[in-house]
Chains A and B, each alone.
Chain A
Amino acid sequence: MATEYASSGEYIKHHLQNLTYGELPAGYQRHDGEVLNQATLTFAHGAEEAKAMGFWAINVDSMAFSIGLGLLFLFLFRLAAKKATVGVPSGLQNFVEWVIEFIDNSVRGSFSHKNPLVAPLALTVFMWVFLMNLMDLVPVDWLPLLGSMAGLPYLKVVPSTDPNVTFGLSLSIFFLVLFYSVKMKGAGGFFSELAFQPFPKFMFPVNLLLEGVGLIAKPISLALRLFGNMYAGEMIFILIALMFGGSWIMALFGGALQWAWAVFHILIITLQAFIFMTLTIVYLDMAHAEHH
C-alpha cells in the first residue's frame, strides 16, 4: 500500500500525522502554495501546518476515537451495572465483574486509605487506556484508507500515540494528586514534605529542588511511558506495513511479522494499561500518606 506515497518517509510521516483542525493565520502559505488572505479554519495538511495553528487547534481523530472508545466502555459497563443481579451472573456481567474485581483488588493492594474516587478512577484509567491501546491492533492502513475515502486527509487511529491524550490523562491525575496532597496534609504539611526532607531543614533549597523534580517527574513519566510505548509499537507496525509494497516474498514475510508483532503487542497493550493504572493508584496513595 506504500506505493500510493512518494517515498517510505512520506508514508511514515503521513501515518504519524493527526487530523488537526484549527485556524491558520492570514498570510500563511499552505502546502500547495496557496497564500491565505484571511485567517481560515481548516484541517492541517502536514506537521508544519498543524504547528502553525498553535495551541488552539484540536486533533479531531484523537478526540473522536478516545471519546468513542470511552463511551463504548461506559456503555458496556453501564449496561452491566443496570442489569447487575445478585444471582448467577452471565455473559457481559461476568466479564464486567471480573474486570471490576481485578481493579478492586489492585486498589486494595496499593491504596491504603479511604477514598471512593480512587477505584472508579482506576477502572476508568485502565479500561480507557486499554481500549485506546487496543486500536493499535487494527492494521495500520484500514481506517486511514476508509478515512481518505471519506475525504479525511489524515487519520491516526490510536489515541494513546498522541501525547496530548496521554498528557491529558496524566495531568488530570497530577492535579488530583496535588489536590489530595493539600487536602490531606494541609498546604503547610505538603510544603514541608517538599522542603524539609530528605536533608535537614537548613538545606531546604536543595530539598525543594530534589522533591520538586520528583513531583514533576510523576505526570511526565506517566504520560511519556505510555506514549513512548504505543508510539514505538505503532511505528513498528508502520514499518512492517511498508514491506507490503515490496515483492510478494517481502509481503508474505511482512504478514508473518505483523502477526507476530500483534501477538506480542497484546501483552504490551495490557501491560501499559495496567502500569498506568497502578501508578495512578500509587501516586494517589502517596498523596494521602502522612510522612513521619
Chain B
Amino acid sequence: MNFNATLIGQSITFIFFVWFCMKYVWPPIMSALETRKKQIADGLAAADRGKHELELAAKKAGDNMREAKATAAEVIVQAEKRAAQMVEEAKTAAREEGERQLAAAQANIAQETNRARETLREQVAALAVAGAEKILRREVNAQTHADLLGQLKAEL
C-alpha cells in the first residue's frame, strides 16, 4: 500500500460528483417520481369517485324508473276513471236524448190525437147538424143557431 496524492484527488473528485449528483441528478428524478406518484394517487381517487358516482347514478336511475312506473300507473288509473266517466256521460246523454225524443214523440202523438179528436168532433157535429136538419126538415140557420151549435160542439 502506497499512499500518495491520489488520495486527495479522489476526495476532490468524490466531493464534486456528490455535489453534481445532489444538484442536477437527484432532484429532477425525485420530483418526477413524486409527481407520478401523486398522479397515480389522484387517478385512483378519481376512479373511486367515478365508481361512487356511478353507484349514485344507478340508484338515481332506479328511483326515476320507480317514480315513472308509479306515475304511469296513476295515469292509467286516471285514464280508466276518465273513460268510465265518459261512458257514463255518454250513457246519460243518450238516456236524456232518448227521453227527450220520447217526450217529443208523445207530444206529437198527443197533438195528433187532439187534432184527430177535433176533426172527429167537427165531423160528428156536422153529422149531428145534418141529422138534426133531416129530423127537423127545415133549414137551420147556422148563423142564428151558432151559439147552439157551438154549445153542442163543446159537449161532444
- What is A's interface to B at a CB cutoff of 8 Å? 18, 20, 22, 47, 50-51, 53-59, 62-63, 66-67, 70, 73-74, 77-78, 80-82, 84-87, 96-97, 100-101, 104, 116-117, 119-121, 123-124, 128, 162-165, 167-169, 171-172
Contact = CB atoms under 8 A, between A and B. Distances in A.
A172 B15 contact: yes
B79 to A, nearest CB: 61
Contacts of B135: none
Interface stretch (B23-31, B67-75, B82-90): B23-31
A100 B26 contact: yes
A84 B13 contact: no
Nearest to B9: A63
Given A165-B10, A168-B14, A81 B4 contact: no
B7 interface: yes
Contact of A164 (B7, B15, B30): B7
B26 A165 contact: no
B35 interface: yes
A101 B29 CA distance: 10
B10 A63 contact: yes
5 contacts: A73-B17, A74-B17, A84-B31, A100-B33, A172-B11
B9 A168 contact: yes
A121 B105 CA distance: 122
Contacts of A58: 4-6, 9
A111 to B, nearest CB: 14
B33 A167 contact: no
B18 interface: yes
A97 B33 contact: yes
Interface of B: 1-11, 13-15, 17-18, 20-22, 24-26, 28-33, 35-36, 39
A123 B129 CA distance: 154
Contact of A124 (B8, B9, B18, B29): B18
Question: Taking chain A's interface residues, is the majority helix, strand, or loop, or is none over half, making it mixed?
Answer: helix
Contacts of B17: 70, 73-74, 124, 128
Contact of A120 (B4, B13, B25): B25
A163 B14 CA distance: 15
Contacts of B33: 97, 100-101
A57 B15 contact: no
A279 B116 CA distance: 142
Given A56-B5, A100-B33, A171 B11 contact: yes
Given A85-B32, A165-B10, A168-B8, 12 more contacts: A20-B2, A50-B4, A55-B5, A59-B4, A78-B24, A84-B32, A100-B26, A121-B21, A123-B25, A123-B26, A167-B7, A168-B10
A99 B150 CA distance: 143
A124 B2 CA distance: 26
A178 to B, nearest CB: 14
The interface centre, meaning the residue of A50, A67, A77, A81 with most chain B CB atoms within 10 A of its CB, is A81
A81 to B, nearest CB: 4
A96 B21 CA distance: 13
Contacts of A56: 4-5
Nearest to B13: A67
B14 A124 contact: yes
A51 B3 CA distance: 9
Contact of A100 (B5, B29, B35): B29
A137 B93 CA distance: 114
Given A59-B6, A86-B36, A171-B7, A163 B26 contact: no
Contacts of A163: 1, 3
B24 A81 contact: yes
Contacts of A85: 32
Contacts of B3: 55, 163-164, 167
Contacts of B4: 20, 22, 50, 53-59, 164
A116 B21 CA distance: 11
Nearest to A74: B20
A20 B1 CA distance: 13
